[in-house]
Amino acid sequence: MAPATNGRVIFAKVPKDFPVPGETTVYDTTQTIDIDGVPLSGGFLVKTLVLSVDPYFRGKMRTPEKKSYFPPFTLGEPIESHGVGVVLRTDNAEVAVGKYVYGMIPHQEYSIFPNMQRLNFIEKNPKLPWTVFVGAAGMPGQTSYYGWKELSQAKKGETAFITAGAGPVGSMVIQLAKRDGLKVIASAGSDEKVELMKQIGADVAFNYKTTNTREVLEREGPIDMQIHPKGCRYWDNVGGEILEAALDNANTYGRFIECGMISGYNTGPKGIKNLNQIIQKSVTMTGLLVFRFHDKYEKEFYEVVPAALASGGAEKGSNTGKAVVIVAED
């Protein structure tokens, strides 16, 4: 068989501010791969099925000198992110052809992996498309689930304020909060998203671009818990103002969970000026990074969440706002 094109998304240039597709990343079709003959050297060949596209990409589009808790993308090489693939050929007896794998996958149609170090096997669920496994049943869903289990200390009757509530993290948190009997206040940036947040159970849902967050929280609070999936965005004025409003309307012993991935820089003109509220209200603010809790909750997550999603109990909207690339049909 003639070599196949191996389409790739290359990290071509560090962005000045916003990434520019075609310039900072380039779709490249010059590489080919001999699917049947390429040497595997003890590894295995994976066909990419779906890839996640996440806000944290911006933080990885940097020069290697800039320090961060995660490594940068490599200039001239494909970007990579969470994705799902299927094993086409193998030199490794423990990785059978036809197995599905989830983990960090380069943004290219075919990849050779030397081992399973950055991958896990996952089981196909006939009721769920693979896209769900990079959303509600993938890293964003894990962020919600781990954070809820580890940090929320949720009690029935409390009030939670969830920003970015129509995104893959926030929508899952709304559902976890409603399941546990909390009142949910949720915000997002469009009326469609507001509608969605209501459908999945938010008691109070509003568009922060057209409604004053502070007024909503003053009316519907105080809030016992805040989950800010775009915690990263404090350099963005809106994020800062929302956190300030949330702190001003925190209940005593409020838990503030700052999650989401982070821009590699913070350039905004304004900081958070009312951290004294943390003292006044005995608030605990904790940073949540999903990978800190994999060891503790990953097994439970895969036992519980895909089945719950497949049963229809929680899937509504859980993948909305999640950008994915469907690379190939399974």
Provide the binding-site residues for a second copy, judged by CB under 8 A. Answer: 68-69, 231-232, 234-235, 240, 243, 258-260, 262-263, 266, 268, 270-289, 292
Query: Can you tell me the distance from the alpha carbon of 202 to that of 104, in angstroms, rounded to the nearest whole number?
Result: 33
Shortest Å distance, C-beta 170 to a second copy: 16
Query: Can you tell me the distance from the alpha carbon of 288 to that of 186, in angstroms, rounded to the nearest whole number?
Result: 19
Shortest Å distance, C-beta 240 to a second copy: 7
Shortest Å distance, C-beta 10 to a second copy: 27
Strands 159-162 and 110-113: unpaired
Shortest Å distance, C-beta 260 to a second copy: 7
Name the residue nearer to a second copy (CB basis): 2 or 279.
Answer: 279
102 and 120 in contact (C-beta within 8 Å)? yes
* Token output for 148: 């809820």
Query: Can you tell me the distance from the alpha carbon of 79 to that of 127, in angstroms, rounded to the nearest whole number?
Result: 30
Name the residue nearer to a second copy (CB basis): 61 or 86.
Answer: 61
Shortest Å distance, C-beta 286 to a second copy: 5
At which residue do the structure tokens 């589009």 appear? 61
286 and 255 in contact (C-beta within 8 Å)? yes
Query: Can you tell me the distance from the alpha carbon of 37 to that of 23, in angstroms, rounded to the nearest whole number?
Result: 33
Name the residue nearer to a second copy (CB basis): 285 or 325.
Answer: 285
Name the residue nearer to a second copy (CB basis): 143 or 319.
Answer: 143
Shortest Å distance, C-beta 244 to a second copy: 8
Name the residue nearer to a second copy (CB basis): 29 or 252.
Answer: 252
Closest C-alpha to 134, from 257, 313, 305: 305
Name the residue nearer to a second copy (CB basis): 84 or 262.
Answer: 262
73-103 as b/e, with b when 16 or more CB fall inside 10 Å? beeeebbbbbbbbbbebbeeeebeeebbbbb
Name the residue nearer to a second copy (CB basis): 112 or 275.
Answer: 275
Query: Can you tell me the distance from the alpha carbon of 142 to that of 131, in angstroms, rounded to the nearest whole number?
Result: 15
Q: At what angle do helices 139-151 and 168-179 cross, to 10 degrees?
A: 40
* Token output for 190: 């469009």
31 and 6 in contact (C-beta within 8 Å)? yes
Shortest Å distance, C-beta 305 to a second copy: 22
